[in-house]
Amino acid sequence: MKRILVCLLLALLVLSCASAGRQIEMNTIQEKIKLKESTRDDVLKYFGEPLSKNNDVKNESEIWHYAYVSKHITGGGVITHVLGIGSEWQSNTEVIDFYFQNGVVVDIKNESSNVRKFHLQ
């Protein structure tokens, strides 16, 4: 019986994690990309294709968007889920935008959030 419970808990943990996008560490950006020197090719080489691209006509720049989202059930959420009360989830989101003018990186903006929510069953 104890083994079955442990197996069920492990299965719940494995099945309750999800991620999407490409995770990029700010340390890596600081090491690899230099403002007003690095190019689109450099960003592409180190971080691959962006999630999306768009143009800022007003500022005559191109913006490449990278995003990473991960979501997992917390330890307390596993217990409350097994008890049938609900579940607690933690979501982490990281968005990084590279701004280019004439093919050269002129700015990098980073935005992140960490949210914990409890969902009743």
Res 90: pLDDT? 79
32: left (phi over 0), alpha (psi -120 to 50) or beta: alpha
Rounded Cα distance, 95 and 76, in Å: 28
Res 7: pLDDT? 47
Each domain of the chain, given as residue ranges in start order, spans: 2-120
Flag whether the pTM goes above 0.95: no
Res 117: pLDDT? 72
Res 118: pLDDT? 64
Res 78: pLDDT? 58
Mean pLDDT by 10 residues, the chain (121 residues): 55 61 88 97 97 92 94 65 66 94 97 78 66
